[in-house]
Amino acid sequence: MRKALTIALILTSLTACQQPDFQDTEGNSYRYSDLKGKWLIINYWATWCGPCLKEIPELNRIAAGYQDKLHIFGVNFDEPDPEEMQAPVKKMGIEFPVFRFDPALELGFTRPEVLPTTFVLTADGTLHTTLVGPQTEASLLRSLEAGP
């Protein structure tokens, strides 16, 4: 009996370790620990934000061209219902994952008041800089070069 209880507790703890920290709008699961080792860029956008529309192609280019160095995730500032999440992502032409729910509180950030806003985290997961306003591929890469 005691041996069975011990095995059950071990299996339960192993299963708990496998639980994702968050999901994207397509239902893919992620763990923050799996993202460490690369820079993490978190971009807040909205469909009504003109500068966001200009910035998305730049972010798409970086997401596709620098997969060996960084991860990019978006956050829909308007936080639509989960059933409605895909439409704004498609409308914006976003080709990188978008958080299903705003991660600000979970990551210890203050939710931005200006859009677009981009949080840049180092490979060890610490906040490196907060960029306010539209970014280009060059400006984002410069912020990484100025990193630790």
Say which CATH topology domain 21-145 has. Answer: Glutaredoxin (3.40.30)
pLDDT: is 133 or 14 the higher one?
133
- The yes-or-no verdict on residue 11 having pLDDT over 90 is no
> For the residues 24-44, what does the mean pLDDT come to?
96
pLDDT of 9: 40
Map out the domains of the chain as residue ranges.
21-145
The CA-based dihedral angle spanning residues 132, 125, 34, 18, taken in that order and rounded to the nearest 10 degrees: -110
Banded model confidence at residue 83, pLDDT cuts 50, 70, 90: confident
- Residue in this structure with the two tokens 């910035």, named with its chain if needed: 55
- The yes-or-no verdict on residue 88 having pLDDT over 60 is yes
Q: Model pTM?
A: 0.86
